[in-house]
Amino acid sequence: MSTDHCRIIQLPKIHDERGNLTFIESSRHIPFEIKRVYYVYDVPGGAERGGHAHKTLHQFLIAVGGSFSVILDDGFRKTEFYLNRGYFGLYVCPGIWREINNFSTGSLCLVLTSDFYDEEDYIRDYDSFLAVCHDTVP
């Protein structure tokens, strides 16, 4: 896979003077059925999250509160995204190394995934990831 397959997706935003509302529907707003939801919060200053790739898992990351940067790497090119609005999310396809950093104080990263947790789906060693990327090039 290439980072070209990953993209920012704008979610519906219903404006109301009492406060805005955004929603997400499986396979309608994001390109997969949601099977798991988790969130990352209370990240200490200077800390990074991620640092892995998934073999088959699709993810959608949203900065529900605060902001953070996501660096995506397909083994050949790195692309950085800055998330800071609850109505934009980043779709991350399988086979992409991701690192999340520059968390603002009080930030909240919501992650929707296409499958349940499976440790076997992770590639946690960057050199192993690069070996897989470079072996699959035609």
Catalytic residues: 52
Token representation of residue 12:
């519906």
20: which strand partners? none
Q: What angle do CA 28, 30, 36 make, to 5 degrees?
A: 110
- What is the Cα 66 distance to its own chain's centre? 15
DSSP letter for each residue of 67-127: -EEEEEE-SS-EEEEEE--TTEEEEE-TT-EEEEE-PPTT-EEEEEESS---GGGEE--HH
